[in-house]
Amino acid sequence: MHRVSKDCGRYYVVHKKQLNDREENRMLLIQEFVDKVSKDAYGGSAELVDDAILCIVNELKGGNFTCAQDVAKRMEENVDSVLRVCSPILPLINLLNLCMQFVEELQENGYPTKEAVAKGCDFLENRRAEQASCLDRIGEIGEKMVPDGGKFSTFSTSGSVMSILEKVKAKGKKITVTCHEARPHNEGYRTFREVAELGFSVTIGTDAAITDLIPKSDIFVIGADAITSIGQVYAKMGSYLAALACKEFAVPFYVAADTSKFDLLSMLGLPLKDSSRPYEEVADIEIPAGCRISNVTFELIPPALITGIITEKGVVSPGSISGMMNPEKMSPRMVDKLIHWATN
């Protein structure tokens, strides 16, 4: 299950499943993608959305459609399949919303079949390019906030955080990095490996060791899966503890997230879906009667603990999020689907 790796002058335990090259999974179809989502097999929302786009494009290009309505039907089936298994990861939810907007466009217009497929592939590839551009911009903005010779800390794994560190590396800054396991899936080991590959000295600790590693950090940055209209950040369990520790030790606590993670549903009064997962992921033991093992994947960090949110549009305060949202962008049919999804 594990192997020991030597990097940056220290020995670490590295989980093999974190070392797999994701390129071998680039030709995913929808059912394979759904299986991966249901197993929480992704390390970050950027990677998740990227694969979602690729598999839906593959479905469109490989489909045997006789008319545009067939294309619309397949697209909506894909949306429903993913929605049945996904947790509240807003970039994915927002991608599904865009898919439903496209479904409605197809149903309102009489496009020829080939044109319908081409339009679907084009809008998905454009969204993929937009996401890459957002990550790049977040990296550029975040890099300026990391002092040369400083100590950078993070939790779990995040494409936005890695973009910042890649830009720090490109600028030639010398920093040290600390990260944490993020149990039970240990996404932090992926961060550890990727940071080490950038050439930085990196230390990884257990989640319980967070107050040991945070002191003397110059900046703490995490990714996010959703940000509500009142500036709450929905992130991997353990992130709230990190934010509290940062407040205790006077370390600036930032969230790196593009605006696709803004939760339009919160403006509609819909709660975030429960993120509890099977207890067997935490421990393989017999549970005594009347007892339970908690395995909640995500938690909400209150805005008062957040120094700022690094977006592709700049660094913003949690209190400014609602003014940056546009609920009119929601597909009416997608809203109906999400009401059912959020309450079941």
Question: Are the beta carbons of 230 and 267 closer than 8 angstroms?
Answer: no
Report the distance separating Cα 151 and Cα 149, nearest Å. 7
Residues facing 203 on adjacent strands: 178
Residue of 50, 73, 59, 57 lying closest to 31 (CA atoms): 59
Q: Nearest 10 degrees: CA dihedral of 104, 105, 109, 115? A: -120
Does the annotation count 7 as an active-site position?
no
Question: 267-274: which pairs have CB atoms within 8 A and are 24 or more residues apart?
Answer: 267/229, 267/322, 267/325, 267/327, 268/327, 268/330, 268/335, 270/338, 270/339, 270/342, 271/342, 272/88, 272/226, 272/228, 272/234, 272/298, 272/300, 272/342, 273/87, 273/88, 273/341, 273/342
Report the distance separating Cα 307 and Cα 284, nearest Å. 39
Report the distance separating Cα 11 and Cα 87, nearest Å. 34
User: Which of these is catalytic: 40, 50, 207, 225?
Assistant: 225
- β strands within 103-251, DSSP E: 151-153, 176-180, 201-205, 219-222, 226-227, 233-236
Question: Which residues are marked as active site?
Answer: 225
